[in-house]
């Protein structure tokens, strides 16, 4: 994604220059550690582009971009604890490198620092409005995570509930990142509404596409076990669509497997066959492409600019990604 390199370089410089205290080391070292481990930085880049697309210098949105990235990494630290994940981005997760207590406290501190970044936003921006937006997005992320956890013990999850869950876990912060960037760029109310549509649509598309790639993508390109979500019995859109569409016998087979997860390799293969025979592969791909088209349609409402062109390229890149 060479076209995003200038935004990434601008953001990375500011991120690495964050004035983190050196002590207590057990509080701040884990925060520096997870931030240095990389990541795509898509959310903060979207904040910068959104500011530019509304007619202002993207640098004006830097505090918002930093707030979003710190918040995102806070959620990763706590998610890894809840999921008992041993690694993140190819490195030991924070609670594995240190311990759970250190990880929880470091995450809490990152949360506080994300809010402190908002204090650096220009005075001509409505601070109350931007803080309200950010805090509501944070709560939606928590709601999405709670729903995802509840889904683990339920076999009656609906497709509408799944969409609500990923709208919270994935879409809310992306939508907020774009709206916050727009606010820093003096966006009109109509522009803010369009940015929200773009952000939420990208969040939904990205997560559904992730679910699809987990089953039908190349595991070498994805870098993880093929059909890992099925193995773990996750309630993805593919799984829920299959349960809704398949025959009574197939449904009983799947539910029997889900009651005794993790699934074995033969059981995973059987579920994939049910997906394919019921048209779930094609239907789910159509779903994430529809959300990408929704984002593209909203983007067309903005005037021509290099920022709009870069966002168009990003959506095209995400639409065609293989990992």
User: 299 and 312 in contact (C-beta within 8 Å)?
Assistant: yes
Beta carbons within 8 Å of 288's beta carbon, 6+ residues apart: 204, 205, 206, 208, 209, 212
Residue 221's domain spans which residues?
2-319
Give the count of domains, the chain: 1
In Å, the largest CA–CA distance within the chain is 63
The two structure tokens encoding residue 152: 């683990």
Q: CA dihedral in degrees (280, 315, 214, 322; nearest 10)?
A: 110
**Distance separating alpha carbons of residues 182 and 47, to the nearest angstrom:** 7
- How does pLDDT run along the chain (323 residues), one tens digit per residue? 789 999 999 999 999 889 888 899 999 999 999 999 878 899 999 999 999 999 999 999 999 999 999 999 999 999 999 988 898 888 999 999 999 999 999 999 999 999 999 999 999 999 999 999 999 999 999 999 999 999 999 989 999 999 999 999 999 999 999 999 999 999 999 999 999 999 999 999 999 999 999 999 988 887 778 899 999 999 999 999 999 999 999 999 999 999 999 999 999 999 999 999 999 999 999 999 999 999 999 999 999 999 999 999 999 999 999 88
- CATH number reported for the structural domain that contains residue 6 in this entry: 1.10.600.10
pTM summary value: 0.93
Alpha-carbon span 126 to 124, nearest angstrom: 7
Q: What is the pLDDT of residue 90?
A: 81
Judge if the upstream peptide bond of residue 24 is cis by omega within 30 degrees of 0. Answer: yes
- pLDDT of 88 reads 87
220: its two tokens: 């070498």
pLDDT given at position 154: 92
Cβ atoms of 174 and 182 closer than 8 Å: no
State the Cα angle at 166 between 115 and 80, rounded to 5°.
60
SS (H, E, C) 3-71: HHHHHHHHHHHHHHCCCCCCCCHHHHHHHHHHHHCCCCCHHHHHHHHHHHHCCCCHHHHHHHHHHHHHH
Nearest-angstrom CA–CA distance, 295 and 288: 11
**Cβ atoms within 10 Å of 285's Cβ, excluding its own:** 14
Check residue 219 and give its pLDDT.
Answer: 82
């Amino acid at each position: 994604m060479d076209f995003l390199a200038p935004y990434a370089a601008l953001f990375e410089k500011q991120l690495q220059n964050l004035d983190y205290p050196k002590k207590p080391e057990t509080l701040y070292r884990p925060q520096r550690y997870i931030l240095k481990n990389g990541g795509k930085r898509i959310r903060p880049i979207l904040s910068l582009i959104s500011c530019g697309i509304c007619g202002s210098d993207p640098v004006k949105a830097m505090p918002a971009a930093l707030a979003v990235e710190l918040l995102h990494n806070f959620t990763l630290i706590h998610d890894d604890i809840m999921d008992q994940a041993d690694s993140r981005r190819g490195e030991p997760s924070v609670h594995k490198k240190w311990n759970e207590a250190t990880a929880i406290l470091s995450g809490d501190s990152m949360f506080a620092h994300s809010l402190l970044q908002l204090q650096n936003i220009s005075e001509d921006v409505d601070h109350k409005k931007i803080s309200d937006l950010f805090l509501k997005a944070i709560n939606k992320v928590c709601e999405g995570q709670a729903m995802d956890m509840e889904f683990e013990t339920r076999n009656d999850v609906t497709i509408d509930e799944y969409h609500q869950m990923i709208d919270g876990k994935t879409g809310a912060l992306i939508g907020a990142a774009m709206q916050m960037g727009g606010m820093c760029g003096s966006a009109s109310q109509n522009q803010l509404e369009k940015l929200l549509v773009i952000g939420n649509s990208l969040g939904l598309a990205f997560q559904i596409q992730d679910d699809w790639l987990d089953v039908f993508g190349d595991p070498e390109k994805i870098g993880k076990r093929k059909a890992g979500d099925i193995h773990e019995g996750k309630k993805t859109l593919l799984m829920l669509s299959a349960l809704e569409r398949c025959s009574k016998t197939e449904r009983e087979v799947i539910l029997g497997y889900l009651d005794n997860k993790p699934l074995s390799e033969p059981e995973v293969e059987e579920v994939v066959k049910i997906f394919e025979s019921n048209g779930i592969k094609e239907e789910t791909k159509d779903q994430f492409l529809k959300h990408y088209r929704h984002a593209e349609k909203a983007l067309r409402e903005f005037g021509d600019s290099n920022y709009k062109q870069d966002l168009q390229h990003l959506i095209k890149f995400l639409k065609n990604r293989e990992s």
